[in-house]
Chain A
Amino acid sequence: MALKPPTPPSVTSLVCRGCGAPLEIRAPGRSIVVACGACGTVLDAQDPDGTIIARYETRNTVVPRIPLGSRGRLKGEAWEVVGYQVRRTIADVPFTWFEHLLHNPTHGFRWLVESSGHFTLAKSASGLPSTVAENEATYLGDRYQHFQTAKAETVHVLGEFPWVVEAGDTAEVDDFVHPPLMLSRERTGQETTWSAGEYLSGDTVWKAFALPGAPPDPVGVGAAQPSPYTPRSGTMVLMLTLFIAAAVLIHVLFSILSQHRIVLDQAWEFQPNSAAAASVMTEPFVLDGRTSNVVAEISTTLSQSWAYFTLTLVDDESDGSRTFGREISYYFGRDSDGAWTEGASWDRVWLPSVPAGRYVLIVEPEGPQPFNYRVRLTRDVPRPLFVWLAIGGLCLPPLVFWWRQWRFETRRWDESDHPMSGSSSDDE
């Protein structure tokens, strides 16, 4: 049996050849380069002599939000922060984000990316997305929408990396989102790499690494931030449907079960300046059942004229009364706009909450011309207006909910290459 060649011992520490600072290698055997936190010099992490790969004139002063060497548990696994890089877009107004490189001896490397207070935990994609169109990518069965494309450059590096990295590196970055998932493609002159990530809140990260203080306040809506509204949208639709159905059912039931009983239907003739016609009183009639409404309908033969009716419903037993007035006017004609009408020759009104009892109705009409009229009272008639008001009221909360959902997505996509509102904003 042939002996395996001995594996060279991994480098676990170096001395920076730029400034003499001691450097700890936290992922020995895996890290390719290490960037000195004191001077920024990038060294070969696998060479015991620490060959210099890149050196900078200016001192590296970057301080990671999560210190190198911090350990925490994310997604049930233990991770140690071994590297950190600051990157920004190459644009008129550059946008900066921060990438912490995490290491676990069993699971390898992950990137914890912070962008405007939003975090994403990403790893190398297991295979290429199956479909990549201009505005879409499909990966592991999920369809991702293109969010933005940018040219990025590395501004600062610190700690260890499993690839050769140095400040000034550039890449073209494409982000695709399927909240809370995110897919990123990085293209350099030599290679294309894909990474898949999942959104994390700052609180989750701070708790995972037991960091002091509070996480940075998130600005706007993160590209992969899950909407708090989307999971409940279906529930709102279902509840709205059920509530409207219940409102209609209530009205239908009352329409079936209510009395709809005509208790008075009487006609009179009105003559101006006639004392006999100025006030008429009906025979007593009975309103029975529970306290409910009474519909008063007045129909007239008015034409190009008006009338005013003062009606008094008198409780024949208690002498209690309620008086109400109704005006009826009906005009019509033709002008340069065509035919027109105004008003109507009839009127209907719901008298609310009339107790049961024996009543008489006193009618006092007035008007400039003679006319005939009829008064009809119907007991206990459900009013459709209230069903429509109830449906309108029931629709309001879902409309507010959906507006806020739309607003959330608008704020997300306004930061992308595909803004929903047509303009970009940095508010909130």
Chain B
Amino acid sequence: MTRAYAVFGTLVLAALTWIHLTGWSPSNVTEEKGIPKSVRDNPGSYRSSYGTRPYTGAK
């Protein structure tokens, strides 16, 4: 286990060095215009605190 961890840790450090050296990143930097206009015009409606409330159906 310790030997495997030594190999794993060395690989992680090598990957960190390579990422810092090349500036590589796995993430996509583009954000989609995904938020509908109705939400944009209703600020606060998609705050996380709203999301915790269970849906109870229309009144």
Interface residues of A (CB under 8 A from B): 232, 235-236, 239, 243, 246-247, 250-251, 254, 258, 290-294, 304, 306, 308, 323-327, 329, 331, 333, 335, 337, 340, 342, 349-354, 380, 382-383, 386-387, 390, 393-394, 397-398, 401
Closest chain A CB from B44 CB (angstroms):
6
Closest to A327 in B: B31
Selected from B1, B33, B49, the residue in CB contact (under 8 A) with A327 is B33
Taking a contact as CB atoms under 8 Å apart, the answer to whether A243 and B2 are in contact is no
Taking a contact as CB atoms under 8 Å apart, the answer to whether B24 and A353 are in contact is yes
Taking a contact as CB atoms under 8 Å apart, the answer to whether A342 and B2 are in contact is no
Once A247-B13, A393-B12 are accepted as A-B contacts, the answer to whether A342 and B23 lie under 8 Å apart by CB is no
Count of chain A to chain B residue pairs whose CB atoms are closer than 8 Å in the complex: 105
Closest chain B CB from A127 CB (angstroms):
38
Interface size range on B against A: 20 to 34
* A340 neighbours in B (Cβ, 8 Å): 44, 47
Closest chain B CB from A59 CB (angstroms):
51
Taking a contact as CB atoms under 8 Å apart, the answer to whether B19 and A386 are in contact is yes
Taking a contact as CB atoms under 8 Å apart, the answer to whether B5 and A325 are in contact is no
Taking a contact as CB atoms under 8 Å apart, the answer to whether A247 and B12 are in contact is yes
The docked-state distance in angstroms from the alpha carbon of A250 to that of B32 is 34
**Chain A interface, >50% SS class:** mixed
Most buried by A among B1, B32, B33, B47: B1
Taking a contact as CB atoms under 8 Å apart, the answer to whether A291 and B22 are in contact is yes
**Chain B interface, >50% SS class:** helix
The docked-state distance in angstroms from the alpha carbon of A383 to that of B21 is 11
Nearest first, the 10 closest Cβ-Cβ pairs linking A and B are: A293-B23, A331-B43, A352-B25, A292-B23, A254-B20, A243-B9, A324-B30, A390-B16, A324-B29, A397-B5
Taking a contact as CB atoms under 8 Å apart, the answer to whether B22 and A292 are in contact is yes
Closest chain B CB from A191 CB (angstroms):
46
Closest chain A CB from B50 CB (angstroms):
11
Taking a contact as CB atoms under 8 Å apart, the answer to whether B22 and A387 are in contact is no
Closest chain A CB from B21 CB (angstroms):
7
Taking a contact as CB atoms under 8 Å apart, the answer to whether B16 and A387 are in contact is yes
Q: What are 30 contact pairs spanning A and B, CB under 8 A? A: A232-B1, A236-B1, A236-B2, A247-B12, A247-B13, A250-B17, A251-B16, A254-B20, A293-B23, A306-B35, A306-B40, A324-B29, A324-B30, A325-B31, A326-B31, A327-B31, A333-B44, A335-B44, A342-B44, A350-B23, A350-B25, A350-B29, A352-B25, A353-B22, A353-B23, A353-B24, A354-B23, A383-B20, A398-B5, A401-B5
Closest to A397 in B: B5
* A387 neighbours in B (Cβ, 8 Å): 16
